[in-house]
Chains A and B, each alone.
Chain A
Amino acid sequence: MLENFSFRTIVEYLPLFGQGLVTTVWLSVLAFAGALAVGIVLAAMNLQRGWLFRIPAKAYIDAVRATPLLAQLYFLYFGLPRLGIILPELVVGILALSLNSGAYVAEIIRAGILSIPRGQVEAGVASGMTYVQRMRFVILPQAFKVTIPPLLGQAIVLVKDSALLSLIAVAELTRAGQLLASDRFMPAEGFITIAAFYLLLYYGLKGLAALSGRWLGLAGVRT
């Protein structure tokens, strides 16, 4: 019953929640780094003129976007051992988050690069710049700017998605709530507390996205 909502139990379990929060943060950071790597490679493949790289990249992005993360997570969790690859749950989880978010990051980066007006590229060509120089000095600095806010939006999604790792027994924040719910039969205390912690992360990242929009001089950025 909610009238005997036990703050004492929450305080008692605070170290567990703290550990869960720390795990959620660092596994999200690692997964986001992985997603950036996957996304950059996919975006580069997707922007090629030839079909050899473009088609596989598009197929991958569409396949990821049309299926749920949970199914992808189980695909790796139950599927990798089949290939003789035995990894700890935590690693499987980070891998799944990276591969999933990577597809979305790829689209963000591609949109950023395509947002640079064609004339800029032509001006680069006319100034005698090579492809690498055009990328390095003309396109990427400008594209970088517009991709930061949506990338932070994707980071928010990733942190929330990481809750699903509790379903393959990774000891992150949601798992801590589940433990309190099942050990003491106090679901309210467990889940309201972790919801509060997730909100903390959410508002932190959202504030960062708003700030970055202001620093970069982008008007009316919403995440």
Chain B
Amino acid sequence: MIWQQLQSLAGSYPLALRGLGMTVMLSLVSLVLGTLIGFGLGILRTGGNRLISGAIGAWVDLIRGTPFLVQIFLIFFILPELGVELDAFTAGIIALTNLAACFICEIVVAGIRSVPTGQVEAALASGLSRWQRMRQVVLPQAMRIVLPPLVGQYVLLIKDSSVVSAIGLTDLTRVGWLVVQRVPNGLLVFFLVGVGYFIVCYPLILLARRLEQRMGAAHGEVQI
């Protein structure tokens, strides 16, 4: 019986690969877009314009305060009512990008605020422009604080991409769900799904840990 199941599972191998491909694709696109937008929002938020930073703060809070599943449903079911035609893949990308951008914005803000004001004043005194100060003085120093949680955020993003299976995208989790309807061995099927995610996420977790140690050491903090 277990043999039959294994054979049947082996038959689902192309489907599993497609699912993994979808998961990687979703994560990668929203990771790149989310990072760009997140950095933009973070820089704008610390920019000193009260209105802009207030608006960004409120939006970030809205996104951080609601479950991702609800956000996906809102985007997927309500945007069409507003006249925006979109398929599940686009909806998933929009939802994931927005989520990533909001969390990365917070990380970037924390990084920028960690740079001593004296540095900015020195850059001002040296006659650097606003952009130069950001690009050459603040961001390079902020990256120490930003990098470890940023990589951690990527792990969260990959895991959150599993939630888009709820609107019918055939990602790795959805493949598990489909396969388990035919091969009634949930332990085995979702163990394998877990292995798929583990292979993608675990190297990133290790990287985040390493970065944390290195960046911490660079700050002269004592490692325990």
A198 touches B70 (CB 8 A): yes
9-residue interface stretch from B35-43, B90-98, B127-135, B159-167? B159-167
B81 touches A68 (CB 8 A): no
Query: Within residues 52 to 107 of chain B, which ones have a CB less than 8 A from any CB in chain A?
Result: 62, 64-71, 73-74, 77-78, 81-82
Interface residues on A, range: 35 or more
Nearest chain A CB to B55's CB is how many angstroms away?
Answer: 17
Nearest chain B CB to A127's CB is how many angstroms away?
Answer: 22
A221 at the interface (CB under 8 A from B): no
Once the chains are docked, how many angstroms separate the CA of A191 from the CA of B186?
30
9-residue interface stretch from A9-17, A29-37, A69-77, A137-145? A69-77
B180 touches A66 (CB 8 A): no
- Chain B residues near A181: list those with CB within 8 A: 73, 77
Once the chains are docked, how many angstroms separate the CA of A50 from the CA of B33?
45
Other-chain residue from B69, B165, B186, B205 in contact with A166 (beta carbon distance below 8 A): B69
- Chain A residues near B125: list those with CB within 8 A: none
A167 touches B155 (CB 8 A): no
A78 touches B180 (CB 8 A): yes
A83 at the interface (CB under 8 A from B): yes
B194 touches A195 (CB 8 A): no
B118 at the interface (CB under 8 A from A): no
Once the chains are docked, how many angstroms separate the CA of A80 from the CA of B160?
24
A66 touches B186 (CB 8 A): no
- Chain A residues near B165: list those with CB within 8 A: 70
Count of interface residues, chain B, beta-carbon cutoff 8 Å = 45
- Chain B residues near A188: list those with CB within 8 A: 77-78, 81
A79 touches B187 (CB 8 A): yes
A130 at the interface (CB under 8 A from B): no
B186 touches A81 (CB 8 A): yes
Do A68 and B176 form a contact, CB below 8 Å, given A75-B190, A191-B74?
Answer: no
- Chain B residues near A124: list those with CB within 8 A: none
Residue-wise interface mask of B (163-201) relative to A, using a CB-CB cutoff of 8 A (1 in contact, 0 not):
101100000110011001000111101110110011001
- Chain A residues near B198: list those with CB within 8 A: 63, 66-67
B66 touches A174 (CB 8 A): no
- Chain A residues near B224: list those with CB within 8 A: 114, 118
A75 touches B74 (CB 8 A): no
Do A66 and B68 form a contact, CB below 8 Å, given A72-B194, A75-B190?
Answer: no
Residue-wise interface mask of A (190-206) relative to B, using a CB-CB cutoff of 8 A (1 in contact, 0 not):
01101100110011001
A163 at the interface (CB under 8 A from B): yes
List 19 additional A-B contacts (Cβ < 8 Å) besides A188-B81, A202-B64.
A63-B194, A63-B198, A65-B205, A66-B205, A68-B160, A71-B190, A72-B190, A74-B186, A75-B194, A82-B187, A161-B67, A162-B67, A187-B78, A191-B74, A191-B77, A191-B78, A195-B66, A195-B70, A203-B65
A–B Cβ pairs within 8 angstroms, 20 of them: A2-B81, A66-B197, A67-B194, A67-B198, A71-B190, A74-B173, A74-B176, A75-B193, A78-B184, A78-B187, A78-B189, A80-B186, A81-B186, A82-B185, A82-B187, A160-B67, A187-B74, A187-B77, A195-B74, A202-B66
Task: List B residues at the A interface (Cβ < 8 Å).
Answer: 62, 64-71, 73-74, 77-78, 81-82, 110, 155, 158-163, 165-166, 172-173, 176-177, 180, 184-187, 189-191, 193-194, 197-198, 201-202, 205, 224
Q: Which 3 A-B pairs have the closest CB atoms?
A: A78-B186, A202-B65, A163-B67
Task: List A residues at the B interface (Cβ < 8 Å).
Answer: 1-2, 62-63, 65-72, 74-75, 77-83, 114, 118, 160-164, 166-167, 174, 177-178, 181, 187-188, 191-192, 194-195, 198-199, 202-203, 206, 222
